[in-house]
Chains A and B, each alone.
Chain A
Amino acid sequence: DQQVKQNSPSLSVQEGRISILNCDYTNSMFDYFLWYKKYPAEGPTFLISISSIKDKNEDGRFTVFLNKSAKHLSLHIVPSQPGDSAVYFCAASVGGATNKLIFGTGTLLAVQP
């Protein structure tokens, strides 16, 4: 039972354009969501998070949007840069970032120069 899903296994975007990565979840108890960037054979690097009491959080080029009624969140990267090319995972938890995380399946983002 995949509680967190990323339906796009890959995404290709031109440098300077917007990258939009999507994530859906099924467990309505999730109240905290995170996005991580990961390279092969490395640990995930935290990008941005959002609590369920908010619908938007912004940090520099990264913005996360949360639609609780649709159980959907998205990560927007503007402008996209070649260095953003990596696998992006969304993750969800119940009770905050220090509780166990359930990861999505990942989306491979390729930013073309």
Chain B
Amino acid sequence: GAVVSQHPSRVICKSGTSVKIECRSLDFQATTMFWYRQFPKQSLMLMATSNEGSKATYEQGVEKDKFLINHASLTLSTLTVTSAHPEDSSFYICSAGQGGETQYFGPGTRLLVL
């Protein structure tokens, strides 16, 4: 299947700093990527849809000014958590599809805000 990578795999930062997470589709082009968040022992919650060349579409309750998404190319989307706080600590996962039977998920990024 197609491969989606994420970087970094885990990050620890101080409260108030910003953190950028990259999501790449390695062997296919993706005009649309998705960002999810998973809190411990909970489901994956869709945060936003990342559209190449245009603004992201955010789900209800997700602050667009706090979670900045940039889909700079057909293989790269970035999520920047601005002014991170401890409650932003979570597992962030991206996905992308190529028109087949599934979306392919990245390995996830564990964010810990101290």
Contact = CB atoms under 8 A, between A and B. Distances in A.
B43 to A, nearest CB: 5
Contact of A98 (B4, B93, B98): B98
Contacts of A16: none
Contacts of B97: 97-98
A101 B43 contact: no
B22 to A, nearest CB: 14
B102 A49 contact: yes
Interface in B1-60: 1, 4, 6, 32, 34, 36, 42-46, 49
A97 B103 contact: yes
B1 A101 contact: no
Interface residues of A, number: 19
Interface centre among A34, A46, A98, A103 (most CB of B within 10 A): A98
A41 interface: yes
A101 B108 contact: no
Interface string B73-114: 000000000000000000101010111111111111010000
Contacts of A106: 43
A89 interface: yes
Question: Which secondary structure dominates where chain A touches chain B?
Answer: loop
A7 B44 CA distance: 16
Interface in A37-64: 41-46, 49
A103 B104 contact: no
Nearest to A104: B43
B43 A103 contact: yes
A104 B44 CA distance: 8
Contacts of A102: 46
A98 B49 CA distance: 11
Contacts of B42: 105
A100 interface: yes
Interface of A: 34, 36, 41-46, 49, 89, 97-98, 100-106
